[in-house]
Amino acid sequence: MLTLTQIREGLIRVPHDPGIFVPRPTHAAVAMILADGADTLEICFIRRAERAGDPWSGQVAFPGGRASAADVDPHAVAERETWEEIGMHLLPRHRVGVLPMRPIERNPREQLTLWPFVYHVGAAEKASATARLPKEVASVFWVPMGHLFDSQAVTEIEYPVGVTHSTFPGIQFGEHVIWGLTLRILASFAEIMERILPAFG
């Protein structure tokens, strides 16, 4: 499985468009946080609480969220949101690299721009990850990276789109299903690492 050195080198090789950041709610950032596990690197995920009006209600995600007026750059968004959501302090020394910026169209009237960043933390920071805001975050959990590339973990999820239900690929981990935007970010990461997620195979 991938090592931290391989991940650093892979992310450095890929040119990326930094985009133009403006501290407003249509700009957002997430943190794909890595930590050492027993046998492989593990990745931090959260499950968002069920909330009316939240388009990502109940879904698995990376820590992160929308920009505020005080955020000076997308890194600041990811790091502030991670602290607010799971109580983990991400610092510049934890930064590993940048994944491709993504446009997200929620509806014809609103398009978001998302910056995903990769971080690596030590054991102390990993142990600090707890849901600080239960009304926003239902749970925090870590997934061994190898599990994401296990074909036996591939599943599907039905989700309402307009007046119908559509089926989407996912990765099952216990009671959680990683799918949607979070899965697409993982697929982008896998592609940069010259691997393919079985969920899209």
User: So what's the pLDDT on residue 18?
Assistant: 86
| 23 has a pLDDT exceeding 70 | yes
* Rounded Cα gap, residues 66 and 25, in angstroms: 5
Which is more confident, 19 or 172? Answer: 172
- Rounded to the nearest integer, the mean pLDDT of the chain is 91
Instruction: Give pLDDT tens digits for 33-77.
Output: 999 998 899 999 999 987 666 666 789 999 999 999 999 999 999
**One-letter amino acid of 186:** L
| 110 has a pLDDT exceeding 80 | no
Domain boundaries, the chain: 4-193
**One-letter amino acid of 30:** V
**One-letter amino acid of 75:** H
Host H or E run for residue 81: helix 74-86
Instruction: Give pLDDT tens digits for 114-149.
Output: 999 999 999 999 998 886 666 789 999 999 999 999
Are the CB atoms for 171 and 154 separated by under 8 Å?
Answer: yes
Topology (CATH) of 4-193: Nucleoside Triphosphate Pyrophosphohydrolase (3.90.79)
User: So what's the pLDDT on residue 97?
Assistant: 96
User: So what's the pLDDT on residue 38?
Assistant: 87
Are the CB atoms for 120 and 26 separated by under 8 Å?
Answer: no
* Rounded Cα gap, residues 103 and 116, in angstroms: 11
User: How far from 177 is each of 21, 66, 76, 167, 193, CA to CA, in Å?
Assistant: 31, 23, 28, 13, 23
User: So what's the pLDDT on residue 25?
Assistant: 92
3-class state of residue 19 by DSSP = coil
What counts of helices (H) and strands (E) characterise the chain?
5, 11
- Among residues of the chain, what percentage have pLDDT more than 70? 91
